[in-house]
Amino acid sequence: MLCGMESHDGPLTRLRRGHEELVLDLLRKHGRLSRGELGKLSALSRTTLYDIIGGLLATGAVVASAPGQGPRKRGRPVETLTLNPEAGQAIGIDFARRAVHVAAANVAHEIVGSASESHAGDLSWVDRTDLAQRLVRSLTGGTLEFGALSAIGVGVVGPVADPGGESAHARGVDGLPELLHKRFGAPVLVDNNTRLAALAESVWGAAAGDEDVLYLRLSHGVGGGLVVGGSLHRGAHGLSGEFGHVTVEGAGARCECGGVGCLETVASVGAVLDSYRAAGGRAEDVSALVAALDSGDGTVRDVLRAAGSQVGRVLAAVCNAVGPGVIVIGGELAAAGAALTGPVEEALSAHVLPLSRHRLEVRRATLGEVGGALGGIGLVLRESSLLSRYPTRRSEAQGERPDPEEDL
Amino acid sequence: MLCGMESHDGPLTRLRRGHEELVLDLLRKHGRLSRGELGKLSALSRTTLYDIIGGLLATGAVVASAPGQGPRKRGRPVETLTLNPEAGQAIGIDFARRAVHVAAANVAHEIVGSASESHAGDLSWVDRTDLAQRLVRSLTGGTLEFGALSAIGVGVVGPVADPGGESAHARGVDGLPELLHKRFGAPVLVDNNTRLAALAESVWGAAAGDEDVLYLRLSHGVGGGLVVGGSLHRGAHGLSGEFGHVTVEGAGARCECGGVGCLETVASVGAVLDSYRAAGGRAEDVSALVAALDSGDGTVRDVLRAAGSQVGRVLAAVCNAVGPGVIVIGGELAAAGAALTGPVEEALSAHVLPLSRHRLEVRRATLGEVGGALGGIGLVLRESSLLSRYPTRRSEAQGERPDPEEDL
């Protein structure tokens, strides 16, 4: 879903974008260039170059220094061009069920910070937006100009279909993109927050630098996302990464989605706690479960083994179909560590195509609860027509790993 | 896997390709242009334009008419440029287990024909290549110039990993790309033939025009392919589309792949014939099975229902993960028609995320046994650096549907 942003696709537009990228790349490398220098370095005709520069000045991506500031040559002073240090920021916002997470990136696409705040589950969208705005201000105050924001990437709970699709509206986010667009004065991109976490893990997290990533989130729901060739995969109708709704037990429990015996009914936080209690254990949340595990409770171990085996089997099916290079497991339940991931890996190995076995790696997510917000920035960097013009270097982006969870 | 073809990826190379595409597109539209006219229409600087034209002349993509052939203006005759009518052909070859299939495309990317011939299962790669060359000659004699071939797309049985990867070699095709490169004097691209059939169905077949396609082939093996955003999806190590090796029965039969209870052990042609015989039926092949079905044999119907249900369940898991828009079912077993696809659709609907149910469409493949060879052409059109410069119009390509199977 997209709000306030144009979409271009023709061959001439693509060519124009290529020209813009070249000019921006040259300015990035050289810092400051005159039009004459840009002409020589870019090999563009004078007419085309001036047209491209005009466009970049108009969008604010590039600024011209007043004659006199630039290096003087003989005769009249030469106007020079630089990247606009105030252009190109991106904000990511994740509207989770009971919390808002935000993250901000500077002009070089480096994450400058993130912030989170919990709230009651019934908070209105206007109040959540107020909260998001406050958190963003706390991050960007002084260093980033609101007015120069290039785009906001927003994560929401539940499926997000194509722009204008119905399923985003079905979950009560009707009007959210418009509201955010008005508040922040920037284009808004929306996607499912778990899918955004998948993208973030592939850019800054456990799978940084990997192009084909399967991300599974074991939380109050079970979901995930696929990164294919470095891009977030959405599917034909925005309904992809629904690993939690793969059937694992023909005669299993009814699932929130309307199905029966879905993975979510055996491997969500709630399902695992229920199994533990049914076996006589006592735990209110994942922390208590992990504490019991640490104290040597064999029942927790059995319960996690049962859930992990089903997870591994579903992962094997998806791996056979899709062939990812790395599997990243996140969500609260990942805190159980090897007692969970061990059985996952065993079942995965037992059920995946034998040829793939030694090619798959399971890693624990590193970005924690701010992953969805970071993914919003990732979405902007990959999809915004303005920001995408700034060539990013992956290695630079990887240097920054905000708020990592402890190692497994 | 790729042989004899360069790979370019830098931003300057991309920009150069953009320039080349523009020049080729202008020549396609206008037929014949002088350098001066190209300069005006392309907005490129004279230096850049002449450099681009020089490159296109050197690769043979463009030819210059001798001064005098072109339209004369006052003063000296003007040299004009056109697309080379002999450049840009593509050949697709599918080396199946016991047959070679070939297909050829002309400069406009239109399929000009296809041909097939069976052979013994133990035929050497040199003999198979001889057969392929003979079939290609029978197709292209007189109308296409061998020397002008731009690339060959080749399908082989079994997994094909990354360029230089080991798994292609493991299946005995070691040296095949080099052999074909020498014989045809053109770059060679290799991929799994079932994946190529998936690509072909999304370009010319049952899913023509769809960008997100799941193709399942029920044949002596069970395999398939995913088309994602219009491109063939390979996965991190070339091991994708292995739907036949998703586990469906924990305590099932051992599979050729080394696993246990794979879909292939219940839904391949051999598995279905075995089940039918075990239930007292008599059939040597799919034709006999279909004949029994047509004569009202309830046992065939039950056997197909059992296999179809397992197929539908695996498809549901893959659909939840990937979210395709269209599912295409091909392979010999598809000849069983609704007795197979009915149960497939029922199980798919029962196990897919309820939100996705009405968004999925199951269609029967239309390209038949030549799909793999057509997919080889598809691969060349999408991946060859020379051919990809020719802008194709999908609607043109869709006009041609060679050798379709009968409708369901």
pLDDT in tens, B276-301: 999 999 999 999 999 999 999 999 99
Q: Which residue of A has its CA nearest to B20?
A: A15
Q: Do A167 and B355 touch (CB under 8 A)?
A: yes
Q: Say which residues have a Cβ less than 8 Å from residue A15's Cβ, sequence separation at least 6.
A: B18, B19, B21, B22
The reported pLDDT for the residue numbered A398 is 31
- What average pLDDT score do residues B146-160 get? 78
Helix B269-278 to helix B286-294 angle, to the nearest 10 degrees?
Answer: 50
Mean per-residue pLDDT, B129-143: 83
Shortest CA gap B220–chain A (Å): 18
The percentage of chain B sitting over the pLDDT mark of 70, rounded to a whole number, equals 80
* pLDDT score recorded for residue B12: 66
How confident is the model at residue A138, as a pLDDT? 87
* Domains with residue ranges and CATH for chain A: 2-83 (1.10.10.10), 89-199+370-398 (3.30.420.40), 208-365 (3.30.420.40)
pLDDT at A103 > cutoff 70? yes
Read out DSSP for B151-179? Answer: EEEEEESS---STT-SHHIIIIITTHHHH
Of A199-213, A340-354, B288-302, B377-391, the poorest mean pLDDT is in B377-391
In whole angstroms, give the CA distance from residue B36 to residue B40: 6
Q: Which residues contact B130 (CB under 8 A, 6 or more apart)?
A: none
User: How far is residue A335's CA from residue B116's CA, in Å, rounded to a whole number?
Assistant: 57
Instruction: Write out pLDDT tens, residues A244-261.
Output: 999 998 788 999 999 999
Q: Which residue has the higher pLDDT, A252 or B392?
A: A252
Considering only CB atoms, B240 lies closest to which of A242, A258, A322, namely A322
Residue B395 confidence class, pLDDT cut points 50, 70, 90: very low
**Which of A212, A234, A242 is closest, CB to CB, to B320?**
A242
SS3 (DSSP) at A244:
helix
Q: For residue B242, which residues of chain A lie inside 8 Å, CB to CB? A: 320-321, 323, 353, 356
Contact criterion met (CB < 8 Å) for A239 and B355: yes
Position A184 scores a pLDDT of: 83
Which among A15, A247, A353 has CB closest to B239?
A: A353
> Is the pLDDT reported for residue A107 higher than 90?
no
A324–chain B nearest CA distance, Å: 5
Contact (CB<8Å) B323/A247: no
pLDDT tier at A23 (50, 70, 90 boundaries)? confident
Given a cut of 60, is residue A200 above it in pLDDT?
Answer: yes
Rounded to an integer, the average pLDDT of A178-194 is: 87
Split at pLDDT 50, 70, 90, the class of B238 is confident
pLDDT(A168) > 70 = no
CA nearest A251 in B: which residue? B351
Lowest mean pLDDT among A329-333, A336-340, B172-176, B344-348: B172-176
Q: How far is CA A302 from the centre of its chain?
A: 33
Q: Show residues of chain A in contact with B8, CB under 8 Å.
A: none
For position A304, what pLDDT does the model report?
98
Q: Nearest by CB to B325, from A11, A237, A313: name it.
A: A237
Q: Which of A188, A105, A196 is nearest to A155 (CA)?
A: A196
**Confidence at residue B83, expressed as pLDDT on a 0 to 100 scale:** 79
Residue range A294-324, pLDDT digits in tens: 999 999 999 999 999 999 999 999 999 999 9
Give the chain B residue nearest A247 (alpha carbons): B351
Most confident of A164-173, B195-204, B231-240: B195-204
For residue A370, the one-letter residue type is V
Residue of B nearest to A241 (CA): B321
Picking from A187-201, A394-408, B8-22, B333-347, which range would have the lowest pLDDT averaged per residue? Answer: A394-408
Chain B hits for A215, Cβ within 8 Å: none
Whose tokens are 């681009």? That residue is B52
Q: How many angstroms separate the CA of residue A142 from the nearest CA in chain B?
A: 34
**pLDDT reading at B80 higher than 60:** yes
Identify which of A139-143, B53-57, B328-332 has the greatest average pLDDT: B328-332
- Inform me whether the pLDDT recorded for A31 exceeds 60: yes
pLDDT on residue B254:
94
CB contact under 8 A, A321 and B241: yes
Q: Is the pLDDT of residue B23 over 90?
A: no
Contacts of A255 in chain B (CB under 8 A): none
Are residues B167 and A355, on separate chains, in Cβ contact within 8 Å?
yes
For residue B345, what pLDDT is reported? 97
The per-residue pLDDT of chain A, averaged, comes to: 82
Query: Is the CB of A236 less than 8 angstroms away from the CB of B326?
Result: yes
The alpha carbon of residue B401 and the mean position of all alpha carbons in its chain are separated, in whole angstroms, by 14
- Distance in Å, alpha carbon of B303 to nearest chain A alpha carbon: 20
From A212, which residue of chain B is nearest by alpha-carbon distance?
B236
User: Quick check: B257 and A323 CB within 8 A?
Assistant: no
How many C-alpha atoms does A220 have within 13 Å on its Cβ side?
6
Average pLDDT over residues B72-78: 62
Q: How far apart are CA A266 and CA A314, in angstroms?
A: 12
Tokens 């080991």 locate to B166
Shortest Cα distance, chain A CAs vs residue B141, angstroms: 35
Rg (CA), chain A: 24
Q: How far is A278 from chain B (nearest CA, A)?
A: 26
Interface probe with A: pick from B25, B210, B227, B355, most Cβ of A within 10 Å: B355
Name which of A321, A324, A353 is nearest B318 (Cβ-Cβ). Answer: A321
CB B348, CB B316: distance < 8 Å: yes
Q: Return the pLDDT at B264.
A: 97
Length of chain B measured in residues: 408
- Please check the confidence at residue A386 and state whether its pLDDT lies above 60: no
- Count of pairs with CB atoms under 8 A, one residue in A, one in B: 175
Please enumerate in sequence order all residues whose Cβ is within 8 A of that of A275, keeping only pairs 6 or more positions apart, or say none.
A266, A303, A306, A307
d(CA B13, nearest CA chain A) in Å: 11
Say which residue, A213 or B143, is predicted with more confidence. A213
User: Chain B residues with CB inside 8 Å of A210's CB?
Assistant: 236
B29: Cβ–Cβ under 8 A, 6 or more apart, which residues?
none
pLDDT tens string B336-362: 999 999 999 999 999 999 988 888 999
Residue-level pLDDT at B393: 28
User: B234 contacts in A (CB within 8 Å)?
Assistant: 323
Q: Residue B386: what pLDDT?
A: 44
Q: Which residues of A touch B316 (CB under 8 A)?
A: 246-247
Whether A233 has a pLDDT exceeding 70, the answer reads yes
State the CB neighbour count (10 A cutoff) for residue A343: 21
pLDDT, tens only, B88-123: 678 999 999 999 999 988 766 678 889 999 999 899
Q: Is the pLDDT of residue A222 over 50?
A: yes
Q: Do B321 and A226 touch (CB under 8 A)?
A: yes
- What percent of chain A clears pLDDT 70, i.e. is strictly above it? 80
Q: How high is the mean pLDDT of chain B?
A: 83
- Predicted local distance difference test score (pLDDT) of residue B401: 34
Per-residue confidence band for B392, with pLDDT thresholds at 50, 70 and 90: very low
Instruction: Give the Å distances, CA to CA, from A133 to A115, A139, A371, B236.
Output: 11, 10, 18, 39
Q: In the prediction, which pLDDT does B405 show?
A: 37
Å from B354 to nearest chain A CA? 6
User: Of A34, A38, A15, A17, which is closest to residue A26 (Cα–Cα)?
Assistant: A38
pLDDT value at residue A58: 82
**Contact between residue A376 and residue A152 where contact means Cβ atoms under 8 Å apart:** yes
A245 with B320: Cβ contact below 8 A: yes
Q: Report d(CA A110, CA A383) in Å as an integer.
A: 17
Closest CA to A235 of B181, A243, A14, B73: A243
Question: Does the beta-carbon distance from A237 to B356 stay under 8 Å?
Answer: yes
The pLDDT value given to residue A59? 75
Smallest CA–CA separation between B323 and chain A, in Å?
A: 4
CB within 8 Å of A404: residues ≥ 6 apart: A366, A367, A368
Taking an 8 Å cut-off on Cβ atoms, the answer to whether B354 and A258 are in contact is yes
Give chain A's length: 408
Quick one: pLDDT at residue B333?
97
- The residues, ordered by sequence, that sit 6+ positions from B175 with a Cβ below 8 Å of its Cβ are B125
Closest chain B C-alpha to A3 CA, distance in angstroms: 22
Beta-strand relationship, B222-228 and B231-233? antiparallel
CA distance A168 to A237: 11
CB pair distance less than 8 Å for A318 and B321 = yes
Q: Smallest Cα–Cα separation from A159: which of B346, B354, B211, B230?
A: B354
> pLDDT tens, A131-148?
999 998 888 765 555 555
Q: Among A170, A381, A122, A186, which residue's Cα sits nearest to residue A178?
A: A186
Helices and strands: H and E segment counts in chain A: 14, 14
Q: How far apart are CA A358 and CA B278, in angstroms?
A: 37
**Which one-letter amino acid corresponds to residue A204?**
W
Most confident of A23-37, A133-147, A244-258, B130-144: A244-258
B-interface mutation test, from A191, A355, A357, A359, most B Cβ less than 10 A away? A355
> Cβ A246–B317 below 8 Å, yes or no?
yes
Which DSSP letter does residue B405 get? P
Task: Give the integer Cα–Cα distance in Å for A207 and B162.
Answer: 20
List b or e across A268-278, with b for residues whose CB sees 16 or more CB atoms inside 10 angstroms.
bbebbbebbee
Task: State residue A56's pLDDT score.
Answer: 86
